[in-house]
Amino acid sequence: MSAPRILVLGSYPAVNPRHGGQVRLSSIVAAYRARGFHVAQASFFPAHDFYTRSAMGPADVALPVTALRSWQGKPSAWVEDLVAGDVAAADARALAGLERYSGKVDFVHLEQPWLLPVVRKLRERGAIGAFDLVYGSQNIEHELKRAILRQHHVPEEDEISGAVLALERECAHEAAVVAAVTNEDAEVLSAWTSATVVLASNGVTPWQSDEHARAKWRERTGPDPFCLYVASAHPPNIQGFCESFGESLAGLSPAQRVVLAGHVGEFIPPTEWFRRWQPLNERRTVALGVLDIADLSAVRDLAHTFLLPVTSGGGSNLKTAEALYSGRHVVATPLAMRGFEHLSDLPGLRIVQPGPDFARAVARSLDEPQPVPDAQATQRRESLGWPHAMAALCDALAAHRSTAA
């Protein structure tokens, strides 16, 4: 039997992944290819500068943002993902290009629910043949959407989150294989489908840095031990940071620093939380902006403590896998450990509720030496690699195709 052919559909470009969702998408493609599957990957995404300035795949499509800012005739800034599927499915030229690029496939892997209208249109058009759907769920999305809408006092909270729930249920119902990132998510998804539901947790790609890059960034971060928070501008990332430290960063000494990497560093300072104690908070933060992989690897290797200030959302966090893999001190909220509970006893890991205790745990970690390397702990950290995380998903596709044949 020939290797299966798979079209992987995503909601952001994955050629040069930066944020967690992009890394997961590209890692799924890499895992399929490593298994010997034939893979085509294409994405439809809002034409924001962050995406359009990055490398794009041959069948990627940047959707006009103005077309994504209205839902059921009402303007909204929080429906871009929900509306993207319908906008993309109506673009016959883009669909034709996608069909020429992918050719006939056995599976369409839909990562996140947003492009289900595209999947249905491809099935209706028939150009890529009869295929089975694989649904990759990164979160129970309607819960996360509701939390964001409530935070921003969006009056259509019930209607929008309800539409997301309906879309998620339809994806699970129509799929032959469903991939969940945590056991808790798998239980929810199993209630929506009779399909095979497998655990495909978030993983990590090992990194290396060179001495020159580390020296360059040490000049920026300073000589003292620092804690590192790597995150995008996704609203829960900003909210989680502010909530985890209590009223301010006063729990850290004036000599201790939080280094912010990624777009999150642009969006924390304007918050009411940061501005309330702005001089104090500014003395304790260093924002580095978005870094390429070489620079981010250097900053990771310089970090004394990794921060995981997660206070909302579903699924699991890729940055948790990266922090645990580092072997450094890690201060995490209980919610940040979702999907990684089996590693809760790793040396150097502190799991602390948001608030003053979290800040105190960060401060203490910066005053302590790094955890002593342990062979057993190192072996457990190695299990966080993407090949291990994606093994059950690859097995499920191979088994399904064998059964179908």
CA angle 7, 12, 17 (to 5 degrees): 100
Does position 19 have pLDDT exceeding 90, yes or no? Answer: no
Residues 362, 159: Cα–Cα separation, whole Å: 40
pLDDT tens for 313-335 read 777 888 999 999 999 999 999 99
Give the E-state strand segments of 239-332 in sequence order. Answer: 257-261, 285-289, 305-308, 329-332
> Domain map of the chain by residue range?
5-203+386-404, 211-382
Question: Measuring CA to CA, which residue among 8, 2, 4 is closest to residue 122?
Answer: 8
CB contact at 8 A, 108 and 6:
yes
pLDDT at 135: 98
pLDDT tens for 161-171 read 999 999 999 99
CB contact at 8 A, 244 and 354:
yes
User: CB-based contacts of 148: which residues, under 8 Å, 6+ apart?
Assistant: 78, 235, 236
Topology alike, domains 5-203+386-404 and 211-382: yes
Q: What is the mean pLDDT of residues 18-38?
A: 93
Collapsed DSSP state (helix, strand, coil) of residue 391: helix
CB atoms within 10 A of CB 341: 12
Question: Measuring CA to CA, which residue among 8, 179, 159 is closest to residue 82?
Answer: 159
CB atoms within 10 A of CB 50: 16
Domain 5-203+386-404 -> CATH class: alpha beta
Helix H or strand E encompassing 38: strand 38-46
pLDDT at 401: 84
Confidence of residue 372 (pLDDT cuts 50, 70, 90): confident
User: CB-based contacts of 67: which residues, under 8 Å, 6+ apart?
Assistant: 83, 87
Domain 211-382 -> CATH class: alpha beta
Confidence of residue 352 (pLDDT cuts 50, 70, 90): very high
Task: Report the b/e string of 87-116 with b at 16+ CB within 10 A.
Answer: bbbebeebbebbbebbeebbbbbbbbbbbb
Task: Report the b/e string of 221-239 with b at 16+ CB within 10 A.
Answer: beeebbbbbbbbbbbbbbb
Confidence of residue 152 (pLDDT cuts 50, 70, 90): confident
Confidence of residue 405 (pLDDT cuts 50, 70, 90): low
CB contact at 8 A, 303 and 327:
no
CB contact at 8 A, 51 and 98:
no
In total, the chain counts a number of residues equal to 405
CB contact at 8 A, 105 and 128:
yes
pLDDT at 355: 95
CA angle 295, 293, 339 (to 5 degrees): 115
Out of 67-71, 104-108, 267-271, which region has the weakest mean confidence (pLDDT)? 67-71
